[in-house]
Each structure stands twice: as C-alpha cells, then as structure tokens.
C-alpha cells in the first residue's frame, strides 16, 4: 500500500506541477487614470444624437458607432445598415470605431462558406464606406450573440472577417460566462483584442427580486479572470436602464427600454432598473488605484442623448468617469412673470438625478395672497397669512442634472417680498 501511495502521490504532484506551468501567471498590475470610450448605438441619427456626438464627446478617447445589425431568418442573413452621420463623427474629432452586431446563429460554421464570405463582405463594405466619407476607422468591433458552446465556430467567422478588413484591427465583445469555456482562449487570440461586457439584466421572476445591471464584485472578478487570457481588453459598463413589468400577482411579464413608453395591461406594476452611478463610480476608483495591465480602459454603453428617459445624463456620466459619486443639488428659483405673480422652480445643479420627497417653506411680506396652486406631484397648504408649505411626500418625477421644474405659483394683491427655503 505504501508503494502504491507513493506512486500516486508522485503522479499527483507531477500533474499539479504541469498544471502550474501551463496556467497563466498572475497579471501584472498598473494604476492611474484609464481611457474612457463610448458607444453610439442608435439606428436613427436624429438631431439629438447628432448634437450629443458633436458636443458631448470631448472627454472620450474613442467613439464606437453601431454600423449594422444582422439577424437570421431560416439560416439566411438579413441586415439593417445604420445611416451614420459621417459629418457629425468627423466634427467630434474623436477616433472612430465601427460596431457590427450579429444575432444568434446555431451553426454550422465554416471559414469560407457563403455565410462567412457574406459577413466578411459586409464588414469590408462598412469600413470602406466610412473611409470613403473621410473617416479614419481605428477598429471594427464584432458583437456576436454567440452561444457559449459555439465559440469555436465563432473563431472561424472571425478569421474570415479579419482577412477581409485587414489591416484594420478587429475586436470582439465577450461575456463573463464565456471565461469558463476553453474555446475562448483561441477565439480571443484570433482577435486584436476584446471588450468584456460586464452588464446585463437577468430575467427576473418576481417583483421583489434583487435587480441590477452590473454587480461590481462580479465585474472585478471577471476582469481578473479575463486578464489571464493574455490579450488586451476593455470593459463595457452600463449607463442605461429598463422598465420591468409584473402582473398583479408580482410575476414578471416583460420589460421596455429607451423609446416610446410601452402601454401595459391594466393592473400591471412596473419597476425601473437603472445603472447605479454610486456603485460604478466606486468601481472606477478601484480600477484607477489597481487593475491588471491587460485592462486598457472602459467603454460606456451608451452616449447620453437629450430626451433619454432611462439613460444617465452627461453630468452624471462625467462624474462617474472621474470616480466621483454623483449627487443632486436642489435649489429654488423665484420667477416673476408679473410683479404680483411668483412662480417657484426647483432646479437641480448637481450631477445626479433627484426624485426623493421635497418640502419647501414659503414666506412673504407686504402683500396678501389671493390665489395659487401646485403643479403635478406637489401639494401645498397655508400655514399663516404670510406663509405656506409646498411638498411632494411620495417622491417627485425624475429631475435630471441641469433641469428645472415649476412646482407652484402664487398671486398677490400687490408686489410682495418672497422668500423660499428647502426644508
């Protein structure tokens, strides 16, 4: 027994030694500020999108714009090409990347069949069109909704695409769940780099479920594992949100994203799930202090655009990028459209949204109030002949940074001296 035990022990030790030799060494560490990039993922380049690209991108090291989306119908490729505003992209004076989104495909995969050649041709035409419009394309990014079991097939397509767009770098997006698959290593080695997407929304079951778009602890663990692949990568972080819907019994029935508000059946309860600025600013601080050398920056999904209901605003994103926890800063503004008419505005001069309860004390002298009213979401009551209180106990609608909202108006019999304070 002792001889057999020694043989087994030596065998285990040898296997462990070989495994140690083959396992990637711990990643080298770096510190300091990181480059920040941003996605522009809209299909329609409306005036607000153009304005955001030309005026709100100076702090980013690169813009990556969605150029085409591919989906499959009975194995046949269908494509929606985005009509990019090349003038706006040039005016941004930022380095530009293009993104090609590919929907789920079950296979089979080949490096030189009709599908591979078609995808390669599409990629080459996207780059060629952009360059013909005087854009210098720094990379093509492939966002393939690939099943974990199909990563080897993905590598075949990737090779065809790289040959078609050479010498332009080709970068892929990867999910944390792919990190446990052995086929990921040859896939990322076939690319010029990858983007680790650490944001998503797992399908909830009940309205009380814990919902978040990015778990900072999981994100950090995923980054450490990704660094062991030995390839340069960036990390994609969220700025967006969803509205999740549940039936009267609390069961999940659907969700909606940015765009026109969806009409849900009567009795449906909704809950917003948003990227958490406080948690993500903490993540940025941690990576600024210490991160793997292979992690070469962050790319945000997506660029804030005027009119977004569920996305961050530019001040919020700028604060998070700097590692600062965004905060609202409410102020009261008194406006007189007539000497005897006073309107009270709430203004948010901070970097975070405000939707918490608000209470305002109003006092005046030298006049008698003859009329007044509160606007949607607010109530008020008179405390004396020269004072009243205006409030929103249940929380007000979102007041974004830089925005203002009129909460009440007061009319007097003569011009008064008015003072208002947040309580």
Written as one string, the DSSP assignment of 352-404 is: S-B-S-EEEEEEEESS-EEEEEE-TT-EEEEEETTEEEEEETT-PSPB-TT-E
Considering the domain architecture, whether residues 60 and 199 belong to the same structural domain is answered as yes
CB-count exposure of residue 363 (10 Å: 0-12, 13-18, 19+): middle
CB atoms within 10 A of CB 341: 15
Instruction: Identify whether 182 is part of a domain.
Output: yes
Considering the domain architecture, whether residues 410 and 289 belong to the same structural domain is answered as no
Considering the domain architecture, whether residues 223 and 366 belong to the same structural domain is answered as no
| Residue partners of 192: CB distance under 8 A and separation at least 6 | 139, 162, 169, 170, 171
Considering the domain architecture, whether residues 353 and 224 belong to the same structural domain is answered as no
Q: What is the pLDDT of residue 27?
A: 63
CB 260 within 8 A of CB 249: no
Considering the domain architecture, whether residues 365 and 295 belong to the same structural domain is answered as no
| Residue partners of 157: CB distance under 8 A and separation at least 6 | 109, 111, 115, 116, 119, 144
Q: Give the torsion through C-alpha atoms of 217, 218, 220, 225, to 10 deg.
A: 150
Domain boundary among 301, 321, 341: 321
> The whole model's pTM is what?
0.89
Instruction: Identify whether 10 is part of a domain.
Output: no
Instruction: Identify whether 399 is part of a domain.
Output: yes
Q: What is the pLDDT of residue 141?
A: 98
Considering the domain architecture, whether residues 307 and 410 belong to the same structural domain is answered as no
Q: 389 lies in which domain range?
A: 330-422
Domain boundary among 290, 321, 352: 321
State the CATH number of the domain containing residue 129: 3.20.20.80
Q: Give the torsion through C-alpha atoms of 86, 90, 95, 100, to 10 deg.
A: 0
Domain boundary among 264, 297, 321: 321
Considering the domain architecture, whether residues 181 and 44 belong to the same structural domain is answered as yes
State the CATH number of the domain containing residue 361: 2.60.40.680
- Three-state DSSP state, 187: helix
Instruction: Identify whether 84 is part of a domain.
Output: yes
Q: What is the pLDDT of residue 25?
A: 47
Instruction: Identify whether 174 is part of a domain.
Output: yes
Query: Can you point out the beta strands (E) in 33-136?
Result: 36-40, 62-73, 76-81, 96-102
Considering the domain architecture, whether residues 210 and 298 belong to the same structural domain is answered as yes
Written as one string, the DSSP assignment of 229-286 is: T-S-EEEEEE--EEEEEE-TTSBEEEEE-SSSPPPPPTT-EEEEEE--HHHHHHHHHH
Considering the domain architecture, whether residues 234 and 373 belong to the same structural domain is answered as no
CB 401 within 8 A of CB 350: yes
| Number of domains forming the structure of the chain | 2
Considering the domain architecture, whether residues 186 and 96 belong to the same structural domain is answered as yes
Considering the domain architecture, whether residues 304 and 349 belong to the same structural domain is answered as no
Which residue numbers in the chain have pLDDT < 50?
1-10, 13-25
Considering the domain architecture, whether residues 288 and 360 belong to the same structural domain is answered as no
Instruction: Identify whether 17 is part of a domain.
Output: no
């Amino acid at each position: 027994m002792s001889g057999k035990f020694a043989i087994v022990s030596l065998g285990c030790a040898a296997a462990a030694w070989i495994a140690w030799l083959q396992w990637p060494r711990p990643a080298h560490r770096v510190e300091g500020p990181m480059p920040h990039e941003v996605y522009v993922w809209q299909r329609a380049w409306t005036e607000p999108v153009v304005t955001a690209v030309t005026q709100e991108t100076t702090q980013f090291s690169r813009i990556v714009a969605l150029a085409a989306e591919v989906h499959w119908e009975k194995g046949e490729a269908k494509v929606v090409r985005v009509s990019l505003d090349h003038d706006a992209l040039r005016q941004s004076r930022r380095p530009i990347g293009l993104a090609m989104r590919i929907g789920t495909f079950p296979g089979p995969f080949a490096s030189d069949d009709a599908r591979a050649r078609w995808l390669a041709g599409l990629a080459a035409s996207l780059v060629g069109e952009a360059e013909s419009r005087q854009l210098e394309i720094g990379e093509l990014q492939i966002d393939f909704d690939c099943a974990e079991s199909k990563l080897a097939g993905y590598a075949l397509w990737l090779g065809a695409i790289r040959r078609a767009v050479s010498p332009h770098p080709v970068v892929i997006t990867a999910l944390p769940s792919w990190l446990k698959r052995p086929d990921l290593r040859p896939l990322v080695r076939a690319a010029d780099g990858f983007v680790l997407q650490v944001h998503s929304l797992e399908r909830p079951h009940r309205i009380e479920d814990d919902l978040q778009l990015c778990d900072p602890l999981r994100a950090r663990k995923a980054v450490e594992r990704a660094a062991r692949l030995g390839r340069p990568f960036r990390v994609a972080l969220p700025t967006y949100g969803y509205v999740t819907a549940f039936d009267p019994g609390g069961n999940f029935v659907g969700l909606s994203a940015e765009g026109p508000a969806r009409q849900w059946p009567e009795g449906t309860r909704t809950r917003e799930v948003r990227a958490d600025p406080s948690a993500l600013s903490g993540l940025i601080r941690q990576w600024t202090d210490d991160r793997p050398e292979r992690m070469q920056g962050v790319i945000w999904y997506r660029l804030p655009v005027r009119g977004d209901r569920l996305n961050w605003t530019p001040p919020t994103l700028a604060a998070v990028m700097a590692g600062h926890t965004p905060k609202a800063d409410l102020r009261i503004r008194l406006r007189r459209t007539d000497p005897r008419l006073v309107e009270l505005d709430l203004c948010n001069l901070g970097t975070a949204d405000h939707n918490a309860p608000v209470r305002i004390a109003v006092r005046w002298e030298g006049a008698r109030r003859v009329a007044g009213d509160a606007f949607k979401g607010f109530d008020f009551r008179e405390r004396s002949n020269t004072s009243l209180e205006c409030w929103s106990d249940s929380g007000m609608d979102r007041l974004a940074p830089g925005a203002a909202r009129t909460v009440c108006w007061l009319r007097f019999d003569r011009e008064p001296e008015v003072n208002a304070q947040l309580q």
